[in-house]
Chains A and B, each alone.
Chain A
Amino acid sequence: EAGVAQSPRYKIIEKRQSVAFWCNPISGHATLYWYQQILGQGPKLLIQFQNNGVVDDSQLPKDRFSAERLKGVDSTLKIQPAKLEDSAVYLCASSPEGGRWGRTQYFGPGTRLLVL
């Protein structure tokens, strides 16, 4: 079975520019997550989708970050405008189980963003 796909793998932009990341989850997985992993830290959940509805976006900086999951499959995460502190790896994960507890997450390879 194909894993979680993410693109691009690397991105370098200047501050105040915009950037978008794409994620394709494992086929049939209803739940999709976006995480931010800053160097030396654990991943921080930004947003969680169940099908195409948002379950949790409490840690998403909504003034500059946005995410959507059209048709409950692919998802995009956008940053506009980027700040230096947004430099991080952005991880996408998906999960097949229903409900909100005890689910195994399958992670993509991540997109490494550097903001100059």
Chain B
Amino acid sequence: AQSVTQLDSHVSVSEGTPVLLRCNYSSSYSPSLFWYVQHPNKGLQLLLKYTSAATLVKGINGFEAEFKKSETSFHLTKPSAHMSDAAEYFCVVSDSSDKIIFGKGTRLHILP
């Protein structure tokens, strides 16, 4: 059975400092992993996805994530936070068992 755990419900960072949002997954099969962002009153938007190609995945707006099979992790990072990054972030796992599972989300706060 699949599962996904976002380890922090809230993360606060100062503008210009690095961002780390943590995600661990469990899957019986080779997974696809995604990060989606949800800005207030806006639809979910794909940031990046991993589908068994390069383990370091680059996404939009300077975000990237690294797939680590040994640690069953897919953490999202950004070198320098911007005020516009304040939003809810969801880690998603999908595999050939056809199930799609969203994490509970991490709300990112950017301090001026």
Contacts and interface: CB of A to CB of B under 8 A. Distances in A.
A binds B: yes
Interface of A: 3-4, 33, 35, 40-45, 48, 55-56, 91, 93, 100-110
Nearest to A6: B43
A108 to B, nearest CB: 6
Interface residues of B, number: 23
Contact of A109 (B32, B43, B49, B102): B43
Given A43-B102, A44-B102, A109 B94 contact: no
Contacts of A55: 98
B100 interface: yes
B96 interface: yes
5 contacts: A45-B102, A48-B100, A100-B98, A102-B32, A107-B45
A56 B99 CA distance: 8
Nearest to A35: B102
Given A101-B32, A102-B94, A4 B43 contact: yes
B55 interface: no
B42 A104 contact: no
Contacts of B14: none
B102 A107 contact: no
B90 interface: yes
A87 to B, nearest CB: 17
Contact of B46 (A33, A35, A45, A105): A105
B51 interface: yes
B11 interface: no
B98 A45 contact: no
Contact of A101 (B41, B43, B94): B94
A91 B49 contact: no
Nearest to A100: B98
A45 B100 contact: yes
B44 interface: yes
A69 B48 CA distance: 29
Nearest to B6: A42
B104 interface: yes
Given A100-B96, A101-B94, A101-B96, A41 B105 contact: yes
